[in-house]
Chains A and B, each alone.
Chain A
Amino acid sequence: MASSPSPAVTSHDVDSPPREVWRTMTEPEPFRRWMGPGSTIQPVPGGPLTVSDPASGEPKVGRVTEVRPCEFMSWIWRPLGSEPDETTSVEVELVPIPDGTRITVTEAPSPVSLPLTPTMGTIVDSAPSCLGTALAGTALAGIGR
């Protein structure tokens, strides 16, 4: 049992192309169906995220940190009402495979804490699509403790 701990990495193959998976991750209605009623995401760097997260039964708030349409999105989040040092980072990577998409998620305790009162999410109409979007970027600025 001398194995060293590592971030939690989970992979899952789906039979839809990355652009379809991306839509579910970024458009209001499919996002709600994925992450639970009331969930919202503003899929741009710095955009707020709120999820009811039926998988854990533990609602979370967070902030998007990086967006590369159809390829990659990362955010930091923590359970609603938890301490900032419970913030974890999540990276979702989409890789096309012959029959669909391999989704790999890496979650790890985050060195950057989410502030105590993060803003609640709002629904945006214009999620970055896969085609010719130049919205990619990183925005960790302003998220520091």
Chain B
Amino acid sequence: MTAPTGSGTLTAILAAVADPTRRTVFERLVTVGPSTATALSAELGISRQAVAKHLAQLAEVRLAEPKRVGRETRYSARPDQLEPVTDWTERTTTLWRRRLNRLGEVTSGPNDDRRGQGSATGGRAPVTDPGDRIR
């Protein structure tokens, strides 16, 4: 019915990639493959500590998957985890397209003499409303 994932999750995922640095870290993992905080720190010119924090936050919403290798943790990207967000965005955009079409129709519609209290014509049947139904 609603989004496949609770909007709480969507919020968390969106928040996770809203930060430009974190997004860079994520996209780096997507393009170059699994990596460690140390390696990413050198490649991106950000402190290791900062990278580790971003990786932890990405892991929290499962956009990155940690795996212990020796005494380092390697992270791989999970771009598939973005799917609920992409689905939600597409569905929401489709709904707004319908609502905005309707907004345009109502605004420029024929029985449009609405000054304050609506069309004081008594009858409320949408007889002349051309595109009244929205599926």
A residues lining the B interface (CB < 8 Å)? 1-2, 4-10, 12, 14-16, 20-21, 23-25, 27-30, 33-35, 53-56, 58, 78-79, 82-83, 85-88, 103, 105, 107-111, 125
A51–B120 CA distance with the chains assembled, in angstroms: 23
Q: Report the stretch among B39-47, B49-57, B99-107 that lies at the interface.
A: B99-107
Which residues of A sit under 8 angstroms from B89, Cβ to Cβ? 5-8
Interface residue count on the B side (C-beta < 8 Å): 48
A/B interface sample: 6 pairs, CB < 8 A:
A2-B27, A16-B107, A27-B116, A30-B107, A105-B99, A109-B10
Centre residue among B26, B102, B109 by max chain A CB count within 10 A: B102
Contact A107 B104 (CB under 8 A): no
Which residues of B sit under 8 angstroms from A86, Cβ to Cβ? 2-3, 6-8
Contact B95 A56 (CB under 8 A): yes
Contact A107 B7 (CB under 8 A): no
Contact A108 B107 (CB under 8 A): no
B residues lining the A interface (CB < 8 Å)? 1-3, 6-8, 10-11, 13-15, 17, 23, 26-27, 30-31, 79, 82, 85-86, 88-90, 92-93, 95-104, 106-109, 114, 116-119, 126, 129, 134
Decide yes or no: A110 and B11 within 8 Å by CB, A16-B104, A27-B118, A103-B103 being known contacts. yes
A111–B13 CA distance with the chains assembled, in angstroms: 12
A66–B114 CA distance with the chains assembled, in angstroms: 24
Decide yes or no: A23 and B114 within 8 Å by CB, A6-B89, A12-B104, A55-B102 being known contacts. yes
B80 → A minimal CB distance (Å): 9
Which residues of A sit under 8 angstroms from B2, Cβ to Cβ? 58, 79, 82, 86
Contact B92 A5 (CB under 8 A): no
- Additional pairs, 19, CB under 8 Å, beyond known A2-B31, A4-B17, A85-B6: A1-B82, A2-B79, A5-B13, A5-B85, A8-B88, A20-B108, A21-B107, A24-B107, A29-B114, A33-B109, A34-B99, A35-B99, A55-B98, A83-B8, A85-B8, A86-B7, A88-B92, A111-B11, A111-B15
A29–B119 CA distance with the chains assembled, in angstroms: 8
Contact A8 B106 (CB under 8 A): no
